Amino acid sequence: MSNQAITEALREADPARGQVPEGLDGRAEQDLSRILQTPMRPRRRWRLAVVGIASFVAVAMFVAQPWVTGSRSGGGAQAATPPLLKFQLKDKRPARQQLLDFASRVRALPAEPATGPVLQISMKGWYLVSGDVTEDYIEPHVVTNYVSDGRLRTFEPGRDPGDAVSVFWKEGLSADPSVLKKQLAVAHPGNGVDSFLNAVDDLQREAIPSPAVRAALLTLLADEKDIKADGEVIDRSGRRGIGFSVLTDGGGLPTKRTLIFDPATGSVLGQEQMLTETAGKMNVPIPSVIEYESYLSRSYVAEIPK
């Protein structure tokens, strides 16, 4: 079945077709509308903030996907997942102290002015769409986002670009950690660490945070309960980074969520999610990476490609 056919079938089966569930904020309403108009693809762009469309997502996850081979029948080989990154913990201080010192260094960096009217952000991501058997590693998806006048368009090789959508934080973000926390919660409500990390992830897709904002993000991360320092690492794009992680079950299974930072600038290089205790019904070993994103470049260009 083609992507388009799957999309049409799901759209017709959606019991809330043409309706906006009560209580949706403006961005969630946009996301829901866009999901129903966008062909299925294995990348995590939309953060669904309401329980009312959970049934739609559940159906989508159990439709046979063209990018996954194999079968769910028992007794097969486990799904191929990326190798684990190798961290070296050299700094033995508590993670909170490391992050606060890191934030202090980043805050002192000079601001980076925009050098063009359009922000270009390139990234690659790998996502375990299901627990199906795969013959080889699923190739990471490489996409490029273009941001101009508060609107974002995503380009992916081999696909037509999607419609422009509003960015989450058109007016920018505060360097005051307490204010910044409230601003992030506008897009991802809730006080849990998953909401915070989801907001940090989306921020990397649509902006180049200033050094002051990056320092505030590091400060907020230092305040997270049970934050752990993972140490130095070479990320999935061959860059030197430093990782900090938390354990969460916000996705339904015990998961280690890791942010990898550039130690010189405090910029986020990437994020990882790894199952730590059980795979549930997914056919993967433990531990297994189930998602990673690597932010390859952020720069300014003259215009959005035609």
pLDDT value, residue 77: 61
Model confidence at 21: pLDDT above 90:
no
Amino acid (1-letter code) at residue 115: T
pLDDT value, residue 132: 55
Q: Which one is predicted more confidently, 19 or 69?
A: 19
Q: How far is CA 270 from CA 116, 238, 257, 264, 294, in A?
A: 24, 12, 11, 15, 4
Q: How far apart are CA 146 and CA 156, in angstroms?
A: 11
Return the bridge partners of 255, or none: 248, 275
Amino acid (1-letter code) at residue 269: L
pLDDT value, residue 138: 66
pLDDT value, residue 71: 32
> Do 46 and 165 contact (CB within 8 A), yes or no?
no
Model confidence at 158: pLDDT above 70:
yes
Would you say the C-alpha torsion 154, 159, 160, 162 has a positive or negative sign?
negative
Q: Which one is predicted more confidently, 126 or 34?
A: 126
pLDDT value, residue 60: 31
CA-only gyration radius of the chain, Å: 19
- Which helix or strand (DSSP H or E) is residue 59 part of? helix 54-61
pLDDT value, residue 161: 84
> Do 114 and 147 contact (CB within 8 A), yes or no?
no
Give the pair of three-digit tokens for residue 133.
């058997």
The SS3 assignment for 123 reads strand
Region 107-135: mean pLDDT is: 85
pLDDT value, residue 141: 87
pLDDT tens figures, 68-90: 333 333 445 676 789 999 999 99
Give the phi and the psi of residue 5 in degrees, each rounded to 5.
-65, -40
pLDDT value, residue 137: 56
Q: How far apart are CA 59 and CA 81, in angstroms?
A: 23
- pLDDT-based confidence at 140, cuts 50/70/90? confident
What percent of the chain is predicted at pLDDT more than 70? 72
pLDDT value, residue 13: 53
Helices (H) and strands (E) in the chain, counts: 7, 9
pLDDT value, residue 14: 53
pLDDT tens figures, 249-301: 887 899 999 999 999 999 999 999 999 999 888 888 999 999 999 999 999 99
pLDDT value, residue 28: 53
